[in-house]
Structure 1
Amino acid sequence: MNVALFQPEIPQNTAAILRTLACLGARGHIIGPAAFDLSPRAIRRAGLDYAATVPLTQHPTFDAFKAAAPGRVVLFTTRADMALTDFAFDQSDTLLFGRESAGVPDEVHAAADVRLRIPLVPGARSLNLAVAVGIALMTATVSSGALVAKGLK
């Protein structure tokens, strides 16, 4: 399973996401530019001892990411009609998440293979990015059979 962050803005969220990826055995992708330092030293510092265990690829643009992305690009967005619980994930899917402040631009939204939302109670706008990634990644990992394949069950 893969998780991609589009131009992340908050380093603490990215660090929490790296830890989640490490714990669930997922690969990470960061689509630039990020709003903070992504040097190997900064990643190690932010991700503590977990950062070194996450295969992390940095892509300078969305086009570069899209050309290299394995499997389907599954965008999580509040503008989606389909809930993540109604989707059959595959282990090769890449779960894509937008900027904390603005999501993804329309052209990235349109380029995704699938668009999903995390169901929320009426009136709730959105979740913290790191929380959303955790919910989506665990759901996708269970749905795709990757949980059992990795011996995590």
Structure 2
Amino acid sequence: MRIALFEPEIAGNVGAVLRLGACLGAAVDLIEPMGFAWDDRRVRRTAMDYIDHVVVARHAGFDAFRATIGSQRLVLFTTKSTRSAYDFDFRSDDVLLFGKESAGVPPPVADACEVRLRIPMRPQVRSMNLATSAALALGEAMRQTATLPD
């Protein structure tokens, strides 16, 4: 299972997702451009030494990223979907895609995804933090596919 971040803007969120990937054994794909310098100390500070335990791939853009996933299913998490992530059957090779913090993904990227899911939340709020959303999504996907580490 992989987590993909489309044009992430906040180094701390990327660091937290890298740590999540390290802890749960999920590779992380970073789709550029990013809103910060990759060597930004905030990424390493958040990811700490966990960054040495996660497979990270950087891609020059969405098309370059798509060329690496082959037949894997691309599952987009978006506030614009009405389909709950908890009413969906994940596969162990799914790629979980999350959009940039300020704007999500553009329509052509959303259209390229096989599935669009939403993490249910109260209607009074706009969205969750990127790293929190990734943790909830990855946890549910791994729970369903029995791929959680021991």
Fold-level similarity (TM above 0.5):
yes
Q: Aligned runs of 1:121-140 on 2, under 5 Å?
A: 121-140=122-141
How far does residue 29 in structure 1 lie from its aligned partner after superposition?
A: 0.2
Structure 1 match to 2:7: 7
User: 3-state DSSP class of the match of 2:67?
Assistant: helix
Instruction: Give 1:3's aligned amino acid.
Output: I
* C-alpha distance in structure 1 between counterparts of 2:44 and 2:124, whole Å: 38
Matches within 5 A, 1:22-33: 22-33=22-33
Q: What is the match of residue 94 of structure 1?
A: 95
Between the aligned partners of 1:42 and 1:54, the Cα distance in structure 2 is 17
TM-score under structure 2 length normalisation: 0.93
Q: Deviations over 1:61-119 (max 9, x none)?
A: 10111111251110000111210001111111010000000000111011111100000
Query: Counterpart of 2:131 in 1: which secondary structure?
Result: helix
3-state SS in 1 of match to 2:4: strand
Task: Give the TM-score taking structure 1 as reference length.
Answer: 0.91
Matches of 1:19 and 1:72, distance apart in 2:
23
Identity rate, percent = 46
Unaligned 5+ residue runs, structure 1? none
CA distance in 2 between counterparts of 1:122 and 1:102 reads 18
Contact (CA 8 Å) 1:76, 1:117: kept in 2 or not? yes
Is residue 53 from structure 1 mapped to residue 53 from structure 2 by the alignment? yes
Matched letter for residue 16 of structure 1? A
Q: Is the 8 A contact 1:73 1:112 kept in 2?
A: yes
CA displacement, residues 7-56 of structure 1 (integer Å, 9 cap, x when unaligned): 00000111111111111111000000001112498754552100111000
Report how many aligned residue pairs link the two structures: 149
* Alpha-carbon contact 1:44-1:52 (below 8 Å) kept: no
Q: 1:145: Cα distance to partner?
A: 1.6
Q: Indicate the structure with greater helix content.
A: 1
- Aligned equivalent of 1:62: 62
**Unmatched tracts of structure 2, length 5 or more:** none
- How far off its partner does 1:124 sit? 2.1
Q: Secondary structure at the match of 2:136?
A: helix
- Counterpart of 1:105? 106
After superposition, residues 72-87 of structure 1 pair within 5 angstroms as: 72-87=73-88
